[in-house]
Amino acid sequence: MKEFIVRAASGILYASLFLLSLQSQHALIGLFFVFGLICLAEFNKLIQLKGVIPYVIFVILYFAFAYWQLMVDSNEGYDEAIQILHVLTIFVLLFLIKDIFSEKTLPLFITKRYINTTFYISSAFIFIILIANFYEDYNPNILLGSFILVWVNDTFAYLVGKNIGKQKLFPSISPKKTVEGFLGGLFFSCLSSYFIAKFTNTLDFSNWLILAIIVSVFGTLGDLIESKYKRQADVKDSGIIMPGHGGLLDRLDSIIFAAPFIYLFLRILKYVS
Protein backbone atom coordinates (compact mmCIF):
# COMPACT_ATOMS: atom_id res chain seq x y z
CA MET A 1 0.00 0.00 0.00
CA LYS A 2 2.83 2.38 0.89
CA GLU A 3 4.51 1.72 -2.48
CA PHE A 4 1.24 2.49 -4.28
CA ILE A 5 0.86 5.80 -2.40
CA VAL A 6 4.44 6.81 -3.20
CA ARG A 7 3.99 5.86 -6.86
CA ALA A 8 0.70 7.75 -7.09
CA ALA A 9 2.11 10.85 -5.39
CA SER A 10 5.15 11.10 -7.69
CA GLY A 11 2.95 10.44 -10.74
CA ILE A 12 0.51 13.19 -9.72
CA LEU A 13 3.38 15.61 -9.15
CA TYR A 14 4.81 14.88 -12.61
CA ALA A 15 1.40 15.23 -14.30
CA SER A 16 0.62 18.43 -12.37
CA LEU A 17 3.89 20.07 -13.40
CA PHE A 18 3.15 19.23 -17.03
CA LEU A 19 -0.45 20.47 -16.93
CA LEU A 20 0.51 23.70 -15.16
CA SER A 21 3.28 24.38 -17.66
CA LEU A 22 0.77 24.32 -20.52
CA GLN A 23 -0.63 27.65 -19.32
CA SER A 24 2.44 29.49 -20.64
CA GLN A 25 4.76 28.88 -23.57
CA HIS A 26 7.70 30.10 -21.51
CA ALA A 27 6.80 27.72 -18.66
CA LEU A 28 6.48 24.78 -21.08
CA ILE A 29 9.85 25.51 -22.66
CA GLY A 30 11.43 25.87 -19.21
CA LEU A 31 9.94 22.64 -17.87
CA PHE A 32 10.98 20.52 -20.83
CA PHE A 33 14.44 22.03 -20.75
CA VAL A 34 14.80 20.68 -17.20
CA PHE A 35 13.17 17.38 -18.20
CA GLY A 36 15.54 17.14 -21.17
CA LEU A 37 18.63 17.61 -19.02
CA ILE A 38 17.45 14.95 -16.55
CA CYS A 39 16.61 12.43 -19.29
CA LEU A 40 19.92 13.15 -21.01
CA ALA A 41 21.80 12.50 -17.77
CA GLU A 42 19.92 9.22 -17.22
CA PHE A 43 20.50 8.10 -20.80
CA ASN A 44 24.20 9.01 -20.69
CA LYS A 45 24.52 6.87 -17.58
CA LEU A 46 22.89 3.93 -19.38
CA ILE A 47 25.28 4.16 -22.33
CA GLN A 48 28.29 5.08 -20.17
CA LEU A 49 28.88 8.41 -21.87
CA LYS A 50 30.71 10.98 -19.76
CA GLY A 51 31.57 14.61 -20.35
CA VAL A 52 29.69 17.82 -21.02
CA ILE A 53 29.51 17.69 -24.83
CA PRO A 54 26.01 16.09 -25.01
CA TYR A 55 24.67 18.75 -22.63
CA VAL A 56 26.27 21.57 -24.62
CA ILE A 57 24.71 20.22 -27.83
CA PHE A 58 21.31 19.94 -26.14
CA VAL A 59 21.42 23.48 -24.70
CA ILE A 60 22.49 25.01 -28.04
CA LEU A 61 19.86 23.15 -30.09
CA TYR A 62 17.05 23.56 -27.60
CA PHE A 63 17.47 27.27 -27.01
CA ALA A 64 18.15 28.00 -30.67
CA PHE A 65 14.74 26.61 -31.63
CA ALA A 66 13.05 28.07 -28.53
CA TYR A 67 14.50 31.51 -29.33
CA TRP A 68 13.33 31.17 -32.93
CA GLN A 69 9.80 30.53 -31.65
CA LEU A 70 9.68 33.22 -28.99
CA MET A 71 11.81 36.10 -30.18
CA VAL A 72 12.43 36.10 -33.92
CA ASP A 73 9.84 37.87 -36.05
CA SER A 74 11.16 36.52 -39.32
CA ASN A 75 11.14 32.76 -39.84
CA GLU A 76 13.79 32.87 -42.56
CA GLY A 77 15.78 29.65 -42.36
CA TYR A 78 13.62 28.36 -39.50
CA ASP A 79 11.62 25.83 -41.50
CA GLU A 80 14.73 24.61 -43.29
CA ALA A 81 16.50 24.07 -39.96
CA ILE A 82 13.53 22.09 -38.64
CA GLN A 83 13.47 19.93 -41.78
CA ILE A 84 17.17 19.12 -41.51
CA LEU A 85 16.86 18.21 -37.82
CA HIS A 86 13.72 16.21 -38.57
CA VAL A 87 15.26 14.13 -41.35
CA LEU A 88 18.35 13.33 -39.26
CA THR A 89 16.22 12.43 -36.24
CA ILE A 90 13.89 10.11 -38.16
CA PHE A 91 16.90 8.47 -39.81
CA VAL A 92 18.52 7.70 -36.42
CA LEU A 93 15.23 6.49 -34.92
CA LEU A 94 14.71 4.05 -37.77
CA PHE A 95 18.12 2.54 -37.03
CA LEU A 96 17.14 2.23 -33.36
CA ILE A 97 13.99 0.37 -34.41
CA LYS A 98 16.13 -1.97 -36.47
CA ASP A 99 18.33 -2.61 -33.43
CA ILE A 100 15.49 -3.98 -31.28
CA PHE A 101 14.87 -6.73 -33.82
CA SER A 102 18.48 -7.81 -33.51
CA GLU A 103 19.73 -10.21 -30.86
CA LYS A 104 23.02 -8.32 -30.75
CA THR A 105 23.76 -5.78 -28.07
CA LEU A 106 23.33 -2.13 -29.00
CA PRO A 107 26.63 -0.72 -30.30
CA LEU A 108 28.40 1.62 -27.90
CA PHE A 109 30.86 3.20 -30.31
CA ILE A 110 31.63 6.71 -29.08
CA THR A 111 30.39 8.30 -32.32
CA LYS A 112 27.08 6.43 -32.18
CA ARG A 113 26.62 7.38 -28.53
CA TYR A 114 26.92 11.07 -29.42
CA ILE A 115 24.56 10.60 -32.37
CA ASN A 116 21.97 8.91 -30.16
CA THR A 117 22.14 11.51 -27.39
CA THR A 118 21.62 14.22 -30.01
CA PHE A 119 19.00 12.74 -32.34
CA TYR A 120 17.24 10.30 -30.00
CA ILE A 121 17.08 12.30 -26.75
CA SER A 122 17.90 15.97 -27.36
CA SER A 123 15.96 16.50 -30.58
CA ALA A 124 12.87 14.82 -29.09
CA PHE A 125 12.42 17.68 -26.62
CA ILE A 126 12.67 20.16 -29.47
CA PHE A 127 9.87 18.39 -31.31
CA ILE A 128 7.77 18.30 -28.14
CA ILE A 129 7.83 22.10 -27.92
CA LEU A 130 7.37 22.40 -31.70
CA ILE A 131 4.16 20.37 -31.47
CA ALA A 132 2.77 22.93 -29.01
CA ASN A 133 3.62 25.72 -31.45
CA PHE A 134 2.69 23.94 -34.65
CA TYR A 135 0.19 26.51 -35.88
CA GLU A 136 2.80 29.27 -35.43
CA ASP A 137 0.82 30.43 -32.43
CA TYR A 138 1.06 28.77 -29.04
CA ASN A 139 -1.69 26.18 -28.69
CA PRO A 140 -0.79 23.32 -26.33
CA ASN A 141 -3.91 21.22 -26.98
CA ILE A 142 -2.27 18.95 -29.57
CA LEU A 143 0.61 18.31 -27.18
CA LEU A 144 -1.84 17.72 -24.31
CA GLY A 145 -3.82 15.30 -26.47
CA SER A 146 -0.64 13.46 -27.44
CA PHE A 147 0.34 13.04 -23.78
CA ILE A 148 -3.16 11.79 -22.95
CA LEU A 149 -2.84 9.20 -25.72
CA VAL A 150 0.50 8.08 -24.26
CA TRP A 151 -0.97 7.81 -20.75
CA VAL A 152 -4.03 5.89 -21.99
CA ASN A 153 -1.89 3.56 -24.08
CA ASP A 154 0.55 2.83 -21.24
CA THR A 155 -2.21 2.36 -18.65
CA PHE A 156 -4.37 -0.02 -20.65
CA ALA A 157 -1.42 -1.89 -22.15
CA TYR A 158 -0.41 -2.65 -18.55
CA LEU A 159 -3.93 -3.53 -17.35
CA VAL A 160 -4.86 -5.69 -20.33
CA GLY A 161 -1.46 -7.36 -20.43
CA LYS A 162 -1.52 -8.11 -16.71
CA ASN A 163 -4.99 -9.64 -16.75
CA ILE A 164 -5.27 -11.49 -20.08
CA GLY A 165 -1.83 -11.24 -21.67
CA LYS A 166 -0.33 -14.54 -22.80
CA GLN A 167 1.62 -13.97 -26.02
CA LYS A 168 4.92 -12.21 -25.30
CA LEU A 169 5.67 -9.19 -27.49
CA PHE A 170 9.48 -9.01 -27.14
CA PRO A 171 10.43 -11.51 -24.41
CA SER A 172 14.18 -11.00 -24.88
CA ILE A 173 13.85 -7.26 -24.19
CA SER A 174 10.76 -6.79 -22.01
CA PRO A 175 9.33 -10.09 -20.72
CA LYS A 176 6.24 -8.44 -19.20
CA LYS A 177 5.00 -6.87 -22.43
CA THR A 178 2.41 -8.90 -24.31
CA VAL A 179 0.70 -8.73 -27.69
CA GLU A 180 -2.66 -8.55 -25.90
CA GLY A 181 -1.39 -5.63 -23.83
CA PHE A 182 -0.20 -3.77 -26.92
CA LEU A 183 -3.53 -4.32 -28.68
CA GLY A 184 -5.42 -3.25 -25.54
CA GLY A 185 -3.41 -0.04 -25.33
CA LEU A 186 -3.96 0.60 -29.04
CA PHE A 187 -7.72 -0.02 -28.77
CA PHE A 188 -8.27 2.32 -25.82
CA SER A 189 -6.01 4.98 -27.35
CA CYS A 190 -8.13 4.90 -30.50
CA LEU A 191 -11.26 5.09 -28.35
CA SER A 192 -9.94 8.05 -26.39
CA SER A 193 -9.05 9.88 -29.62
CA TYR A 194 -12.78 10.54 -30.16
CA PHE A 195 -13.05 12.41 -26.86
CA ILE A 196 -9.78 14.25 -27.43
CA ALA A 197 -11.03 15.43 -30.83
CA LYS A 198 -14.31 16.53 -29.27
CA PHE A 199 -12.90 18.47 -26.33
CA THR A 200 -9.60 19.91 -27.60
CA ASN A 201 -11.10 21.59 -30.67
CA THR A 202 -7.94 21.08 -32.71
CA LEU A 203 -7.88 18.25 -35.25
CA ASP A 204 -10.87 16.24 -36.40
CA PHE A 205 -11.54 12.70 -35.18
CA SER A 206 -9.95 10.90 -38.17
CA ASN A 207 -6.68 12.76 -37.63
CA TRP A 208 -6.68 12.11 -33.89
CA LEU A 209 -7.36 8.44 -34.67
CA ILE A 210 -4.23 8.33 -36.83
CA LEU A 211 -2.29 10.07 -34.05
CA ALA A 212 -3.54 7.44 -31.59
CA ILE A 213 -2.10 4.70 -33.81
CA ILE A 214 1.18 6.60 -34.21
CA VAL A 215 1.47 7.12 -30.45
CA SER A 216 0.66 3.49 -29.63
CA VAL A 217 3.04 2.00 -32.18
CA PHE A 218 5.99 4.35 -31.81
CA GLY A 219 5.45 4.86 -28.08
CA THR A 220 5.67 1.10 -27.59
CA LEU A 221 8.79 0.96 -29.76
CA GLY A 222 10.31 3.75 -27.67
CA ASP A 223 9.59 1.82 -24.50
CA LEU A 224 11.21 -1.30 -25.98
CA ILE A 225 14.30 0.59 -27.13
CA GLU A 226 14.82 2.08 -23.68
CA SER A 227 14.24 -1.38 -22.16
CA LYS A 228 16.98 -2.80 -24.36
CA TYR A 229 19.37 -0.09 -23.22
CA LYS A 230 18.49 -0.82 -19.58
CA ARG A 231 18.89 -4.57 -20.08
CA GLN A 232 22.27 -3.98 -21.69
CA ALA A 233 23.28 -1.75 -18.74
CA ASP A 234 21.88 -4.40 -16.35
CA VAL A 235 19.62 -1.97 -14.48
CA LYS A 236 15.91 -2.04 -13.72
CA ASP A 237 15.25 1.70 -14.00
CA SER A 238 16.96 4.60 -15.73
CA GLY A 239 17.11 6.57 -12.47
CA ILE A 240 15.52 7.20 -9.08
CA ILE A 241 14.14 10.72 -9.45
CA MET A 242 10.51 9.52 -9.45
CA PRO A 243 9.90 7.26 -6.43
CA GLY A 244 7.88 4.22 -7.41
CA HIS A 245 8.41 4.87 -11.12
CA GLY A 246 12.17 4.97 -11.55
CA GLY A 247 13.76 7.61 -13.71
CA LEU A 248 12.16 10.41 -15.69
CA LEU A 249 13.33 8.69 -18.87
CA ASP A 250 11.22 5.68 -17.84
CA ARG A 251 8.15 7.93 -17.82
CA LEU A 252 8.94 9.90 -20.97
CA ASP A 253 10.43 7.19 -23.19
CA SER A 254 7.21 6.77 -25.18
CA ILE A 255 6.64 10.44 -25.99
CA ILE A 256 10.36 10.97 -26.59
CA PHE A 257 10.33 8.40 -29.37
CA ALA A 258 6.87 9.25 -30.71
CA ALA A 259 7.24 13.07 -30.81
CA PRO A 260 9.20 13.26 -34.11
CA PHE A 261 6.65 10.97 -35.78
CA ILE A 262 3.75 13.00 -34.38
CA TYR A 263 5.36 16.12 -35.79
CA LEU A 264 5.94 14.36 -39.13
CA PHE A 265 2.22 13.55 -39.37
CA LEU A 266 1.30 17.16 -38.51
CA ARG A 267 3.60 18.46 -41.25
CA ILE A 268 2.10 16.08 -43.80
CA LEU A 269 -1.37 17.14 -42.68
CA LYS A 270 -0.44 20.79 -43.10
CA TYR A 271 0.83 20.31 -46.63
CA VAL A 272 -2.10 18.23 -47.89
CA SER A 273 -4.82 20.35 -46.31
**Mode of pairing for the β-strands spanning 168-170 and 174-178:** antiparallel
Give the domain range for residue 81.
Answer: 2-272
C-alpha span between 125 and 32 (Å, rounded)? 7
CA nearest to 181, candidates 163, 200, 206 = 163
Residue 114: per-residue pLDDT: 93
- pLDDT band (50, 70, 90) for residue 204: very high
Residue 191: per-residue pLDDT: 97
First to last CA, the chain: 51
pLDDT of residue 18 exceeding 90 = yes
Q: Render pLDDT for 142-197 as a digit per residue (tens, 0 to 9).
A: 999 999 999 999 999 999 998 998 899 888 888 888 999 999 999 999 999 999 99
What are the CA-CA distances from residue 63 to residues 37, 113, 121, 222, 271 (Å)?
A: 13, 22, 15, 25, 27
Residue 149: per-residue pLDDT: 97
Q: Which amino acid is at 27?
A: A
Q: Which long-range contacts (CB under 8 A, 24 or more apart) does 69-75 make?
A: 69/25, 69/29, 69/129, 69/130, 69/133, 70/25, 70/26, 70/29, 75/136
179-200 and 205-233 are packed helices; what angle lies between their axes, rounded to 10 degrees? 140
C-alpha span between 199 and 177 (Å, rounded)? 31
C-alpha span between 184 and 73 (Å, rounded)? 45
Number of domains forming the structure of the chain: 1
Task: Say if CB 37 and CB 223 are below 8 A apart.
Answer: no
Q: Render pLDDT for 54-71 as a digit per residue (tens, 0 to 9).
A: 999 999 999 999 888 777
Residue 73: per-residue pLDDT: 56
Q: Render pLDDT for 71-100 as a digit per residue (tens, 0 to 9).
A: 755 566 788 899 999 999 999 999 999 988
pLDDT of residue 105 exceeding 80 = no
Looking at residue 122, the DSSP 8-state letter turns out to be: I
- Helix (H) / strand (E) element for 76: namely none
User: Cβ contacts of residue 232 below 8 Å, gap of 6+?
Assistant: 46, 105, 106
CA nearest to 128, candidates 230, 23, 2, 36 = 36
C-alpha span between 209 and 145 (Å, rounded)? 11
Residue 144: per-residue pLDDT: 95
Q: Render pLDDT for 205-225 as a digit per residue (tens, 0 to 9).
A: 999 999 999 999 999 999 999
3-state secondary structure of 183: helix
pTM over 0.95: no
